[in-house]
Structure 1
């Protein structure tokens, strides 16, 4: 035993430098990316490729291959695989962001031509199809009313359904509800519009209105609210429920005072995402609301305009003035969705549970 201890003590210490592994400098990924872009541009020009998208794909491929080759030579194959995985993730993110950037850039550049106060405060009353002027005020009113009514219908029902599935749901009924929620998630918007058309309009005899369109939008919105709320409620730790129940608090009060306030941030975000999902739907509006060039503040009586259907109508006219109005309305719709998301973030931070220091 003493000999072994003596051998360990007498063993020469391994130099710290020998254990250190060679690594690429911090600027290496940026340098390889710049080199890949330059080489891709050269290949694209030499090969006569006119599309910049093709140049970008070549640059991504060269960047991944270059990263693996250089990292293998310097850091070893294991570290090279890790760098390649990181590079693929970043490349996928950039490829996913490029269409979004292109969409926003195109919409902004073409939509700002006529987007001003007059466009936002006037309707299409008395405006010729091929003439300039007119606005989107009536469509904004219709969209706000239809989306608001749909949210008032779908959000409470969806949230209560999610509470049932998470807190109470057991057995065949819960399985059936889950199954039908999954089925409703994949329902095309035109099918929801046809369902309301066959029941509300044809069977019950009501005419076109914003409320009819709102009911179709509520059908599309409800499963999104159920799924998002359900996932947020599942993230609430069971310890919070058990602590409340241990104090003698009834289960319904535990849900209202503990579970929902803890998940309210995620629930609000899910509702706003569902609102953004239905804000751009035009098929149910075309079937049930019909569109209107005049201002109609009553969503329960008569045809009503909406931003998605207004964009479709203007683009269908096929002239430059209508194209400009369509792009401007599309920019307004994008701004509307962005405002909803900002509101969701603000409400989520405001309602988030406060932790003590």
Structure 2
């Protein structure tokens, strides 16, 4: 009797039953994991649907082009909030991107001593610091010093929250750049700083942009730091040294009023803010996947 025949002969009903049991357990576990994934998505789906249902009626031309109406009067918009958010975020990006990227370059390319450990420690602490604490600190440091609430103070507060995200994420991206690229460029006689500027950073470009998108998504939705530093404004203001409105701040203010029309506008602002954050997050995810394939 051959070995194959012996194995077949020994394959009785018990072994067949055990095989069927294993397949059933595998399918059950797979179904359980699939259900867990669906449950993880449900909160986002429900939140998005609820926000859209409550605020869709506010989305019209006036909403995006006009200043707030007199309380109790229909109509009006929050154009000053959109402009203010753009000004604050533009300054925050201008402050946090160079700081975060340069810190990441130092940590990944040069940082081996106590200073690098201190920078990483500070970045980790700031990542876990409540945003209201950062806002209170900048209020005491900038608002009190200048004697006025301003978009500039709001941008500085967001910078405190954004640069650690950029620094830590960019550091990890730079570490994924193959060492062979660095060594090859150095072998050609390029100085270290040129290797970083011409080889390392361009190779990690999409990953760095991903880190920036994640930081922008975090800063765009912050309310407490803006409340303590920019204060808000009922009118369009383009002076960075004057009180300025922002979308999260307008949502907070309108949510606290008894005027139903302002509640609807607040929900409309939430739709725009949620859409912007989702778009930034999806873009960051797509770019991150592309960066991983490129590095491999």
Normalised TM-score (structure 1) = 0.74
Q: What is the 5 A alignment of 1:134-149?
A: 134-149=76-91
Q: CA deviation at 1:238?
A: 1.1
The structure-2 alpha-carbon separation of the partners of 1:296 and 1:168, relative to structure 1 and needing over 3 Å to count, comes to same
- Mapped partners of 2:237, 2:146: distance in 1: 21
- Mapped partners of 1:171, 1:147: distance in 2: 34
Superposed CA RMSD in Å reads 2.8
Point out the structure with max Rg over C-alpha: 1
The structure-2 alpha-carbon separation of the partners of 1:239 and 1:19, relative to structure 1 and needing over 3 Å to count, comes to farther
- Mapped partners of 2:34, 2:85: distance in 1: 37
Higher relative contact order, chain-length normalized (CA < 8 Å, sep 6+): 2
- Mapped partners of 2:40, 2:136: distance in 1: 34
User: Does the residue aligned with 2:146 lie in a helix, a strand or coil?
Assistant: coil
User: Does the residue aligned with 1:130 lie in a helix, a strand or coil?
Assistant: coil
Match of 1:111 among 44, 47, 55: 55
Task: Say if 1:232 and 1:263, in contact at 8 Å, map to a contact too.
Answer: yes
Match of 2:30 among 86, 94, 103: 86
Q: Gapped runs of 5+ residues in structure 1?
A: 1-9, 23-71
Task: Say if 1:264 and 1:348, in contact at 8 Å, map to a contact too.
Answer: no
User: Does the residue aligned with 1:305 lie in a helix, a strand or coil?
Assistant: coil
Q: Do structure 1's residue 152 and structure 2's residue 94 form an aligned pair?
A: yes
Aligned residues: 291
Task: Say if 1:142 and 1:299, in contact at 8 Å, map to a contact too.
Answer: no
Cα-to-partner distance string for 1:76-116 (whole Å, 9 max, x where unaligned): 34x55544543343222211100000011111111111201
The structure-2 alpha-carbon separation of the partners of 1:298 and 1:347, relative to structure 1 and needing over 3 Å to count, comes to farther
Q: CA deviation at 1:129?
A: 2.0
Q: Do structure 1's residue 181 and structure 2's residue 123 form an aligned pair?
A: yes
Task: Say if 1:265 and 1:352, in contact at 8 Å, map to a contact too.
Answer: no
The structure-2 alpha-carbon separation of the partners of 1:352 and 1:110, relative to structure 1 and needing over 3 Å to count, comes to same
Cα-to-partner distance string for 1:48-100 (whole Å, 9 max, x where unaligned): xxxxxxxxxxxxxxxxxxxxxxxx865334x5554454334322221110000
Match of 2:168 among 227, 233, 239: 227
- Mapped partners of 1:291, 1:165: distance in 2: 37
Q: CA deviation at 1:337?
A: 2.3
